[in-house]
Amino acid sequence: MDRIVLLTGKLTLGQYVSRRMEDLRLSTRDLDKLTGVSYGYISKIARDEIRAPSVEKLAMLAKGLQVPPENLFRLAGGLQPHGEGGESSDITAAVRRFAALPPDVQADLLADWEALLDRREHQASKGRPGKDQPQPGP
């Protein structure tokens, strides 16, 4: 498969998924059947209504859309590229290592990742200062 170059400043995750579905002539229901990701979840992603999609679901969608998972991860804002030009990125290496892990280890890692994202989102919604921000005095 040809490497797909993303212009992350130009497309949202929803736009990218929608365009890729058009390229493959897939309906939302077709993608649901291919990936096991529900029609409703795919529709919400395509409309950019899901702020932090599950890593597991993004990986499943990537397979159905025939794209590297890091494309969707990057657009979802969860991971950033580290490579330049045609060089392999740290993301690509990590995804390949992840795919080689036993399913139970993958499930544990995904659960930990989701918990971390949930905690970060919860802290952001509470207006809590991050690690690098000054803490309020007593």
Which tens digits make up the pLDDT trace of 15-49? Answer: 999 999 999 999 999 999 999 999 999 999 999 99
pLDDT at 55 over 80: yes
pTM of structure: 0.54
Q: Is residue 104 part of a domain?
A: yes
State the DSSP H helix or E strand holding residue 65, giving kind and residue range, or none if neither. helix 55-65
Which residues constitute the domain of residue 53?
13-80+88-126
pLDDT digits (tens, 9 = 90+) for 65-116: 999 888 888 888 755 444 433 334 556 667 767 777 788 878 878 887 787 7
Give the domain CATH number at 20. Answer: 1.10.260.40
d(CA 12, CA 19): 11
pLDDT of residue 112: 78
pLDDT of residue 136: 53
Q: Distances from the Cα of 95 to the Cαs of 5, 86, 91, 127, 134, in angstroms? A: 17, 17, 6, 32, 35
- pLDDT bin (cut points 50, 70, 90) of residue 126 is confident
Q: Is residue 23 part of a domain?
A: yes
Q: Is residue 120 part of a domain?
A: yes
pLDDT of residue 86: 38
pLDDT of residue 73: 85
Number of domains making up the chain: 1
